């Protein structure tokens, strides 16, 4: 049995709490993938615990304090003592990246920070690993969930910026002091990190021009909607000639754009390079569990050291009796009672109808229906009966429908 | 200077050719990230080269032959001899995964295969690394570009399946023999791989129920469009009770679904787990350069061994004179000549107008315009002049517009 791997956690807020729970719940999976069982070496709270003691007992330090002081000092001391560090702290990486990366390289330890940008959306790993040797030309996207929630709500309700902000605060999507989110500064820090990693060039906060959403009027969103446009707060980092540009600004997107459907507190990042066309990644940009999951992914990678080789851990039963929603297309004779007979068969088989369209006349009469979700076996039984009805002009066509609507 | 890392390439088709070019072009970047410069140890062509000789000279073997024979034999021999393997071969991994993973674990070497599913979309890495210790409940998406192209085209043109297939073949999006793509077998192999990795359970091709798109009628797509639905060939692997279900079937999606906007030859995969809500990843599912880029990412990870610590490699200039398209909202007095004066200022500053909406009367008159892309400095100069026009009832509002339309 390999030694357990001891993890010191700095900070015990929402993310810290979720991470401690996750480590306990998933310890077996970490051991299966990485070969060692994680153990908490200690948790540093504002009022409790001693950093030096926790550091001395840890192989990995997880920094979830936020801000730069004392986070910078703690992380530097951890790295210099030969301890791997995982951080979720965008300000720390954006403002002190050079110093921290140098310390990690010098000590030969890892510094991982997936959770610092776009939460559990794996944009840092993809840029630093999948695309490590790829010439990235542009990284852009929605990296602040608070402002995306506010803009989505304004578009859906027509409410003003200030009313929508108040609602976002009520729902927990905006902080009591939302300044850094709504003025673009939070997104700017994240774009500085992404630009630095994508272009291998030092990018500081002062290099990022940013604008926020505080001046947006509901009527701008409404007018633009008529032009087929939706409003997002975008971060854009791109190569321009021999230089780069890194900016954050509110921006309209045409409906065909991959980022146009990203609504609510979600984040989404696109990466472009000549050899990849583009990759888009999206998901929740915040949330205690989501951020903690990103941190756990970094911890596992540090412990595993190299790519885990897949290993079967269970032998799960293949299930075939499933529930689905179906679309049903029937070419029918144009005569009374057709709908009633079809409905009777469906009803008897406990298949519930969501919507019906009856179309055409004479030789072109059709019945098109969408069902509510139900047992596939029951729908198949109904379908076999329907196929035998004498007014059908051709075989019925059934296609599954995914009912979930997102966002 | 570290030893170069010698790479043997099996197969010299489109992907093999692109990979050899990429290795040459990006050798410096690989060295910067991973510490060693890649060198080709040899390329095995059907009619040329000796496998044993290439294997003997390689630290990493890249298998791009496709099919299972002789790929399986070559990959097994490479792994057993202690050589890392990168493969882009979905059939090989889907059919012989158990044997290959066991051989890799036994020899203590890596077996990577990002390119086998969804091309450069980093779904394998995210499932195996970012989410290694996360309890994934569902993996689903569009994993066959040929069928997604055909279904998108049928929806856009109303043409029949067979006409659209012929067009896809002309454009190079479908093979001369498209059977495995259009009947769902290709997607089934990819879903077997994803299910295996997500659920840590042995999933073989026989466990995957699949249907294709050959029976789809244009009128089904047209009727469903009226109901707000679009058609995709979906692969779905999910936990059901204590078991799992892995299936491929054509399926309608409501327009709010994250996969609904994925059109043309693109692939997209969603991963769900209680602690992440969902992550969506999309991008080109095929293409020589794209697939070669995915292979290169795997090669770099093997050479790097552990996560690279970021290092600045250049000091790029921050560029601020950029081109953009703008939306301009003016509250104006309701009198003749207003549009002419605004247009004159824009024209004189070489700002070109894409669309104009004039709305309201009296105290609510507005001019809303979207510009074509142009130098921001020129637009800003025009904006300053416009702000001084005496018929404005409030300050002009300008917001950037992203013009690119995708797919």
The residue written with tokens 């350069």 in the block is B289
Sign of CA dihedral A270, B249, A364, A352: negative
A-chain CB neighbours of B402 within 8 Å are: 234, 251-254, 257
CA atoms within 13 A on the CB side of B369: 23
How many angstroms separate the CA of residue A59 from the nearest CA in chain B? 16
Q: What count of CB pairs under 8 Å joins A to B?
A: 393
The two three-digit tokens of residue B387, written as one number: 């702000």
Quote the crossing angle between the two packed helices B288-304 and B27-34, to the nearest 10°. Answer: 30
The two three-digit tokens of residue B329, written as one number: 């909202």
For the cut 90, the answer to whether the pLDDT of residue A357 exceeds it is no
Give me the interface pTM, i.e. the ipTM.
0.91
How many angstroms separate the CA of residue B218 from the nearest CA in chain A? 12
CATH topology of domain A5-116: Rossmann fold (3.40.50)
Reported as a pLDDT band with limits 50, 70 and 90, residue A27 is very high
Give bridge partners of residue B124 from the DSSP assignment. Answer: none
Chain A CA closest to residue B37: A133
Cβ A135–B29 below 8 Å, yes or no?
yes
pLDDT, tens digit, 9 for 90 and up, residues A125-161: 999 999 999 999 999 999 999 999 999 999 999 999 9
Reported as a pLDDT band with limits 50, 70 and 90, residue A407 is very low
| Per-residue pLDDT at A320 | 84
CATH architecture, range B123-284 = 2-Layer Sandwich (3.30)
Rounded Cα–Cα distance for residues B234 and B143 (Å):
7
Please report the residues numbered 274 through 293 in chain A whose beta carbons come closer than 8 angstroms to any beta carbon of chain B: 274-284, 287, 289-290, 292-293
Rounded Cα–Cα distance for residues B395 and A114 (Å):
41
Q: Cβ of A313 under 8 Å from any chain B Cβ? A: yes
Q: What is the residue-wise DSSP string for B342-364?
A: HHHHHHHTTPPEEEEEEE--GGG
Structure letter (DSSP) for residue B394: S
Chain B CA closest to residue A253: B402
How far the first Cα of chain A sits from its last, in Å, is: 45
Rounded Cα–Cα distance for residues B213 and B151 (Å):
8
Reported as a pLDDT band with limits 50, 70 and 90, residue B407 is very low
Give bridge partners of residue B331 from the DSSP assignment. Answer: B366
| Per-residue pLDDT at A148 | 97
How many angstroms separate the CA of residue A315 from the nearest CA in chain B? 5
Of B146, B143, B144, which Cα lies nearest the Cα of B168? Answer: B146
pTM: 0.91
Rounded Cα–Cα distance for residues B60 and A18 (Å):
40
| Per-residue pLDDT at B1 | 58
Q: Considering only A218-222, B96-100, B227-231, B340-344, which range has the smallest mean pLDDT? A: B227-231
Rounded Cα–Cα distance for residues A129 and B122 (Å):
10
Q: Cβ of A363 under 8 Å from any chain B Cβ? A: no
Beta strands B84-87 and B374-375 are unpaired
Give bridge partners of residue A269 from the DSSP assignment. Answer: A141, A281
For the cut 90, the answer to whether the pLDDT of residue B190 exceeds it is yes
Percent with pLDDT over 70 in chain A: 98
Which residues lie closer than 8 Å to A177 by C-beta, 6 or more apart? none
pLDDT, tens digit, 9 for 90 and up, residues B5-22: 999 999 999 999 999 999
How many angstroms separate the CA of residue B23 from the nearest CA in chain A? 9
Rounded Cα–Cα distance for residues B142 and B128 (Å):
19
Are residues B137 and B146 in contact, defined by beta-carbon separation less than 8 angstroms? no
Identical fold for domains A5-116 and A123-284, yes or no, is no
Percent with pLDDT over 90 in chain A: 80
Are residues A119 and A286 in contact, defined by beta-carbon separation less than 8 angstroms? yes
pLDDT, tens digit, 9 for 90 and up, residues A359-375: 888 888 999 999 999 99
Of A120, A293, A402, the CB nearest to B253: A402
Cβ B256–A261 below 8 Å, yes or no?
yes
State the average pLDDT over residues B79-91. 97
The two three-digit tokens of residue B339, written as one number: 């549009």
| Per-residue pLDDT at B53 | 96
Rounded Cα–Cα distance for residues B355 and B346 (Å):
13
For the cut 90, the answer to whether the pLDDT of residue B321 exceeds it is no
Structure letter (DSSP) for residue B310: P
Rounded Cα–Cα distance for residues B264 and B219 (Å):
19
Are residues A202 and A139 in contact, defined by beta-carbon separation less than 8 angstroms? no
B-chain CB neighbours of A202 within 8 Å are: 312, 315
Provide the residue ranges of all domains of chain A, joining segments of one domain with +.
Answer: 5-116, 123-284, 323-401
The two three-digit tokens of residue A75, written as one number: 């992380």
Neighbours of B3 (CB within 10 A): 10
For the cut 60, the answer to whether the pLDDT of residue B394 exceeds it is yes
Are residues B370 and B325 in contact, defined by beta-carbon separation less than 8 angstroms? yes
Cβ A133–B296 below 8 Å, yes or no?
yes
Alpha helices in B252-398 (DSSP H): 288-304, 338-348, 376-387
Which residues lie closer than 8 Å to B8 by C-beta, 6 or more apart? B40, B41, B42, B43, B44, B54, B55, B57, B58, B60, B61, B62
pLDDT, tens digit, 9 for 90 and up, residues B112-124: 999 999 999 999 9
State the average pLDDT over residues A224-251. 91
Rounded Cα–Cα distance for residues B196 and B113 (Å):
13
CA atoms within 13 A on the CB side of A234: 25
pLDDT, tens digit, 9 for 90 and up, residues B215-224: 999 988 988 8
Mean predicted lDDT score pLDDT of chain A: 93
Quick one: three-class SS letters along chain A? CCCCEEEEEECCCHHHHHHHHHHHHCHHHHHHHHCCCEEEEEEEECCECCHHHHHHCCCEEEECCCCCCCHHHHHHHHHHCCCEEEECCHHHHHHHHHHHHHHHHHHCCCEECHHHCCCCCCHHHHHHHHCCCCCCCEEEEECCHHHHHHHHHHHHHCCCHHHHHHHHHHHCCCCCCCHHHHCCHHHHHHHHHHHHHHHCCCCCHHHCEECCCCCCCHHHHHHHHHCCEEEEEEEEEEEECCEEEEEEEEEEEECCCCCCCCCCCEEEEEEEECCCEEEEEEEECCCHHHHHHHHHHHHHHHHHCCCCCCCCCCCCCECCCCEEEEEEEEEECCCCCHHHHHHHHHHHCCCCEEEEEEECCHHHCEEEEEECCEEHHHHHHHHHHHHCCCCECCCCEEEEEECCCCC
Of B104, B209, B251, the CB nearest to A399: B251
Are residues B397 and B331 in contact, defined by beta-carbon separation less than 8 angstroms? no
Q: Considering only A70-79, A177-186, B313-322, which range has the smallest mean pLDDT? A: B313-322
The two three-digit tokens of residue A272, written as one number: 């472009």
CATH topology of domain B323-401: Alpha-Beta Plaits (3.30.70)
Are residues A217 and A154 in contact, defined by beta-carbon separation less than 8 angstroms? no
Beta strands B138-142 and B229-240 are antiparallel
| Per-residue pLDDT at B336 | 87
| Per-residue pLDDT at A404 | 65
Q: What is the residue-wise DSSP string for B113-127?
A: -GGGTTTTS-HHHII
């Amino acid at each position: 049995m390999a030694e357990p791997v001891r993890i010191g956690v700095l900070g015990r807020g929402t993310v810290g709490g979720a991470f401690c729970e996750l480590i306990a719940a998933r310890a077996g999976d970490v051991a299966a993938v990485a070969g060692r069982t994680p153990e908490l070496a200690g948790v540093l709270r504002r009022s409790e615990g001693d950093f030096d003691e926790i550091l001395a007992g840890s192989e990995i330090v997880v920094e979830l304090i936020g801000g730069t002081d004392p986070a910078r000092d703690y992380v530097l001391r951890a790295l210099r003592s030969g301890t791997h560090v995982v951080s979720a702290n965008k300000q720390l990486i954006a403002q002190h990246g050079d110093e921290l990366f140098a310390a990690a390289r010098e000590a030969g330890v890892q510094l991982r920070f997936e959770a610092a940008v776009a939460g559990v959306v794996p944009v840092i790993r993809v840029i630093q690993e999948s695309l490590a040797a790829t010439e990235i030309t542009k990284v852009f996207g929605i990296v602040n969930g608070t402002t995306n929630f506010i803009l989505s709500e304004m578009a859906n309700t027509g409410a003003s910026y200030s009313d929508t902000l108040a609602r976002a605060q009520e729902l927990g999507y905006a902080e009591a002091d939302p300044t850094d989110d709504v003025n673009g500064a939070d997104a700017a820090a994240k774009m500085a990190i992404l630009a630095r990693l994508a272009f291998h060039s030092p990018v500081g906060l002062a290099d990022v021009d940013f604008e926020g959403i505080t001046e947006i009027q509901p009527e701008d969103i409404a007018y633009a909607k008529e032009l087929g446009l939706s409003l997002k707060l975008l971060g854009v980092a791109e190569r321009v000639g021999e230089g780069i540009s890194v900016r954050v600004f509110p921006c309209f997107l045409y409906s065909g754009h991959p980022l146009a459907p990203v609504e609510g507190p979600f984040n989404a990042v696109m990466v472009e390079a000549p050899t990849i066309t583009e990759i888009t990644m999206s998901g929740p940009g915040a949330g205690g569990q989501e951020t903690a999951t990103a941190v756990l992914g970094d911890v596992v990678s540090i412990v595993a050291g190299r790519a885990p080789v897949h290993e079967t851990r269970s032998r799960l039963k293949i299930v075939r009796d499933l529930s689905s929603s179906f679309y049903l297309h029937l070419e029918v004779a144009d005569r009374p009672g057709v709908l009633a007979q079809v409905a009777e068969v469906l009803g008897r088989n406990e298949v519930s109808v969501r919507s019906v369209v009856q179309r055409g006349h004479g030789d072109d009469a059709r019945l098109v229906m969408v069902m509510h979700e139900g047992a596939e076996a029951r729908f198949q039984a109904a379908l076999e009966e329907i196929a035998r009805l004498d007014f059908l002009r051709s075989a019925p066509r059934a296609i599954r429908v995914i009912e979930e609507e997102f966002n």
